[in-house]
Amino acid sequence: MTVIGLGQMGAALAGAFLDAGHPTTVFNRTPEKAEPLVARGAVRAATVAEAVAASGLVVVCVLDYPAVRDLLGPVAGALRGRTLVNLTSGSPEQAREEAAWAAGHGAGYLDGAVMTTPPGVGDSESMILYSGGPELLAGHRAALGVLGDPVDLGADAGLASLYDSGLLGLMWSVFGGWLHGTALTGADGVPAKEFTAVSVRWLRTVSWFLSTYADQIDAGEYPGDDATIDVQVATVGHLLHAGEARGIDGRLPRLHLELMKEAVAAGHGGDSYARVIDSFRKARPSEGSGS
């Protein structure tokens, strides 16, 4: 296989292929970055054309989509009959455009999102999301599986990037809540490690709520049989009070409170927390604006 782009992530991808015993050709605009991989058995291509010609499976991981096109555009004809796996971060729209471009040059295309940092590449517990060609993923699953657990999201090439964005948003929200809670308990002398041990256990219960609420969202029905929004509004008040008493910044819980109060004002105080999704589903500017 071929790996184009040897930043931290690209180098980790190439290293995982080498560790699994796969003949691997690498290319980077700065040739020196290939030296550690060459020392481990990789073949350094002198040009992008040489790199593409070396393998039927071409993995690219560079800064952004324009960089992908800058590299591959001049050698587009050489991609015919090959499978291009693009693990570069971007938007769903860019991924769909790139898939159409690859198809126009006779190449198979998989768009992907690496859901870990470089040290996690090669760990079977790490997810790598793929979309755009289920049959291509099935055909290359053994090879791509050495990078991490391949998760097939279907034929829409934009879904890996879309999931990536959503999952990163979830990660930052969890980080923010954990940091706020760590600051809150730390104000009373609780070590971060002790609070975190309980937090990780609590997240297992939170995951159960997510699964329950997902069914409610898909059905469009929000029974408040576990805890209503009205109850949770009061609970956030306790959190804010505890934070204020300890000098803890309350912007994050106040945001949650604002979203909950929107639902209450709309008459949904007796519904489950999942109803708050309505606050995120704002109409687009072109919808309902009369323009």
Residue 287 has pLDDT above 80, yes or no: no
pLDDT of amino acid 237: 96
pLDDT of amino acid 289: 44
pLDDT band at 283 (very low <50, low <70, confident <90, very high): low
Q: What is the pLDDT of residues 42-62, one digit of tens each?
A: 999 999 999 999 999 999 999
Q: What is 187-280's CATH superfamily?
A: N-(1-d-carboxylethyl)-l-norvaline Dehydrogenase; domain 2 (1.10.1040.10)
| Number of residues written out for the chain | 291
Q: Is the pTM of this model over 0.85?
A: yes
Contact (Cβ atoms closer than 8 angstroms) between residue 130 and residue 112? yes
Q: What is the pLDDT of residues 233-269, one digit of tens each?
A: 999 999 999 999 999 999 999 999 999 999 999 999 9
Burial, 19: exposed, middle or buried (Cβ in 10 Å; 0-12, 13-18, 19+)?
A: middle
Q: What is the pLDDT of residues 7-55, one digit of tens each?
A: 999 999 999 999 999 999 999 999 999 999 999 999 999 999 999 999 9
Residue 286 has pLDDT above 80, yes or no: no
pLDDT band at 219 (very low <50, low <70, confident <90, very high): very high
Residue 140 CA, chain-centre distance (Å), reads: 21
Phi, psi of 176 (to 5 degrees): -60, -45
pLDDT of amino acid 282: 80
Q: What is the pLDDT of residues 93-151, one digit of tens each?
A: 999 999 999 999 999 999 999 999 999 999 999 999 999 999 999 999 999 999 999 99
Residue 284 has pLDDT above 90, yes or no: no
Bridge partner list, 268 = none
Would you kindly state where each structural domain of the chain is located, as residue ranges? 2-156, 187-280
DSSP E strand boundaries for the chain: 2-4, 25-27, 43-44, 57-60, 83-86, 108-115, 127-131, 149-152
b/e 25-64 (16+ beta carbons within 10 angstroms → b): bbbbeeeebbeebeeeebbbbeebebbbebbebbbbbbee
Average pLDDT over residues 155-178: 98
Q: Which overall architecture, per CATH, does domain 2-156 show? A: 3-Layer(aba) Sandwich (3.40)
Q: What is the pLDDT of residues 63-96, one digit of tens each?
A: 999 999 999 999 999 999 999 999 999 999 999 9
Contact (Cβ atoms closer than 8 angstroms) between residue 229 and residue 269? yes
